[in-house]
Structure 1
């Protein structure tokens, strides 16, 4: 069964980047209710102006994300958008400091998926999606930290998909929630926005555990 994104409630966690704003604007234009989070009230202002409901919250914090899930109840989509790049210098240049700076992307995937798991499974079309990189398929020495964090994020998202499928099997009901990985070589915000909207154009059984190259 395919459905429309119109009328759906979508959480964009860590959405204060330019890409986050573009995605929020596209979702709102498509008829979705957007809840956008960020740690800085000032950086959330543009999202508020675009029509999103904004909440000051840390996407890497399970406590913050659990509180958000309890506050809003029905949620149909969750997209963690915490990202960033550090790299270069070959393998010797892969510093602990750079790795620590990249780690919040994985932490956001973990926190959001755990906090909203029940809500997404309760939706008749729950969607969880992460943004990854083609670097996972061909990691380079100068981007080893980055590729490792993205690979771990993909593994977690695939575990989410398994959880969705197992819950459906155990209940004897249809699969209604899907976890998807978007991979991009260079992220184009408008392309990402279109792909996110398209998550509600296919049924969960088709989408779950898919890797989609943008």
Structure 2
């Protein structure tokens, strides 16, 4: 657990409302926050919105070479990460199975799965070495109860969940589950599960809507902060529901 120490945390997908809210919450908790997006201008504006001291970084997280360069850049600054919050995603849907397009699948696989694979592989050793290593992603209730219209979206989220659970298994095998030299679990990978996320701009754009079951991005930010104050053994490999 963080024990009040300042941690180095990367927020992937930091240009989104959820990325801004998570970065703001982590910065408010006293951590050193690096927020990443593919567009330099957008991520700079988002970091400024998240609060003083949030560091913007531009990187195409779907490009493994670019992610390797990002890790090298942080290492050159003397930074080893204690946490990675993966918030890269997006929504694509259709009427049913037959009209699920290849273009939508490519978009969802790239954003939900490839970016997660690249970031988790690049920073796995950092998180495994940290006394408070945390990897988390945001998934959807649709992954466990897919509909025909959301088939591609649900499949991409399910794949991202499976990858995250595999990372959790890696942490367990190297720590508490090590056959010869087990140690107390200190790194964890977990999955937040929501119906959908909502923010103030969405409410302002549709004041007549109630958004039932949606999770406010501020509540997601608070949940992310709590990851670092919860024992890794309680978190590792868990699906954490946030839907109301």
| TM tier, smaller | over 0.9
Deviations 1:34-67 (A, max 9, x none): 1111111110122332231111111222222222
After superposition, the CA RMSD in angstroms is 1.4
**CA distance in 2: counterparts of 1:97 and 1:198, whole angstroms:** 37
Equivalent residue, structure 1, for 2:229: 201
Equivalent residue, structure 1, for 2:194: 184
Selected match of 2:93 from 84, 87, 90? 87
Contact residue 14 and residue 47 of structure 2 kept, 8 A? no
TM-score (norm 1): 0.94
**CA distance in 2: counterparts of 1:114 and 1:181, whole angstroms:** 17
Equivalent residue, structure 2, for 1:64: 66
TM-score (norm 2): 0.83
Contact residue 20 and residue 47 of structure 2 kept, 8 A? no
Equivalent residue, structure 1, for 2:12: 13
Contact residue 86 and residue 116 of structure 2 kept, 8 A? yes
SS in 2 for 1:92: coil
SS in 2 for 1:139: coil
Equivalent residue, structure 1, for 2:135: 128
**CA distance in 1: counterparts of 2:9 and 2:146, whole angstroms:** 32
The 4+ residue runs of structure 1 with deviation greater than 6 A are none
- State the shift of 1:88 in Å: 2.5
Equivalent residue, structure 2, for 1:96: 102
Measured at CA, do residues 127 and 184 of structure 1 come closer, stay the same or move farther in structure 2, by a change above 3 Å?
A: same
Equivalent residue, structure 1, for 2:28: 29
**CA distance in 1: counterparts of 2:116 and 2:193, whole angstroms:** 15
Measured at CA, do residues 38 and 52 of structure 1 come closer, stay the same or move farther in structure 2, by a change above 3 Å?
A: same
Contact residue 21 and residue 46 of structure 1 kept, 8 A? no
- Give the gaps of 5 or more residues in structure 1: none
Q: Which moved more, 1:68-77 or 1:7-16?
A: 68-77
Larger helix proportion of the pair: 1
